[in-house]
A and B are shown apart, each in its own frame.
Chain A
Amino acid sequence: MLAASGKLDRRELCRALLADRGDMLVIAGLGAPAWDITAVGDHKNNFPLWGGMGGAAMIGLGLALAQPERRVLVITGDGEMLMGIGALATIAIQKPANLSVVVQDNEHYGETGMQQTATHHGVDLVAMAEGAGIRNTMRVNTPEEVEPLRRAIHAGNGPLFAVAKIDAANLPLVLPPREGAILQARLRESVLGPEAHLA
């Protein structure tokens, strides 16, 4: 699960976190996290984003509040999380027990030429989440710490916020469907049944 850099490989991390996912719903932030969950396997319960930078965690909150019996996992990047960092406060106050946010932190804007993000310069997303009032947090740096994170995601003691430090390499693109109406409709049908289309 480790890349040559000694850091976690982002795709292997995603594969491990999505193992035995059950009926968990997964939002992925735009760019590499969307490619990562798709590389593990495109799925009707995946909602990979093509835009809306800064909104992934809040989409997860809206979904988690609407479906409190389902696990909801947001997988996103450090740049995307930083853009919507206020969402940590909003989520902490709402306290959705079924929501987990996992930041794959490569400390770079990987889709735009590998410019450094704030986390490269020491900004601590876990500390920011804790400061917002999210009590259930995890730092994941080694393969041994991944399975405990997977179990915590399914435990339902959220909101859970985790940062996994990952290797910064750009991996081959594995693209999900690009038609947003299909992405929305297939997840809604999965959750709500065919009646979703008659709402």
Chain B
Amino acid sequence: MSSTISRDVIEHAPDAAADWPDRIYGLLKAYAIRQVALVPDAGHARLIRRCLADNDIRVVTLTTEEEGVALMQGAWLGGQRSVLLMQSSGVGNCINMLSLSTMHRCPMPMLVTMRGDFGEFNPAQVPMGQATQAVLEAMGTLVNRADKPEDVAPSVEATLKFAFNTFRPTATLIGQRVIGAKTFGKD
């Protein structure tokens, strides 16, 4: 058995008119972020393009998200600020590596685009999506949620401030209600 559907049903990326990805990019610049580690997510596609186009930001595409946690530890040792961009499913890949942040008091801000959250189509996304916040908090991460477009930038700024001012793992979860506009394969 099989069925054919539009890609819109399974891909989630911000509407072209949404400005929050550009506002996140502005915050990365304002907070002097020099290394951006990521496993791509459609929700971060525009932000990733902005970072790739910036010669002062080193984009490090990872094979698994926990590599990004370790990269943030190394960047901080060398005096550079970094962030980790990932989808909620990738949070599960980070659990043990997040011990580095607590062990060494290393700032580790994470910007997470949610799946398995609001109006999800794919049942495989639901278990990790529903566990994302609990898993992060279990590892000592301060978690902010953004479920409206206007909440994204303030929440990301709080996540950056809290990480670099208080030396710990922090995360903004960008809800699927924000990301979930249909993509029409364009973003």
What residues of chain A have their CB less than 8 Å away from a CB belonging to chain B?
A: 25, 27, 47, 50-67, 70, 84, 86-87, 89-90, 93-94, 180-181, 183-184, 187-188, 191-192, 196, 199
Contacts and interface: CB of A to CB of B under 8 A. Distances in A.
B47 interface: no
Nearest to A27: B74
Nearest to B106: A184
Contacts of A67: 78-79
Contacts, number: 123
B176 interface: no
B61 A62 contact: no
Interface string B159-181: 00000100000000000000000
Contacts of B35: 62, 65-66
Contacts of A184: 76-77, 104-106
B77 A180 contact: no
Interface stretch (B22-30, B64-72, B120-128, B129-137): B64-72
B79 to A, nearest CB: 5
Contact of A84 (B67, B105, B106): B67
Interface of B: 34-35, 58, 60-64, 66-80, 82, 96-97, 99-100, 103-106, 164
Contacts of B67: 55, 58, 84, 86-87, 90
Given A51-B103, A66-B35, A90-B61, A58 B78 contact: no
B72 A62 contact: yes
B78 A63 contact: yes
A6 B97 CA distance: 36
Contacts of A56: 70
B66 A55 contact: yes
B134 to A, nearest CB: 21
A64 B74 CA distance: 8
A199 B79 contact: yes
Given A59-B77, A63-B77, A66-B35, A52 B62 contact: no
Given A59-B71, A90-B67, A65 B103 contact: no
B105 A180 contact: yes
A55 B103 CA distance: 14
A67 to B, nearest CB: 4
B96 A196 contact: no
B104 A62 contact: no
Nearest to B103: A180
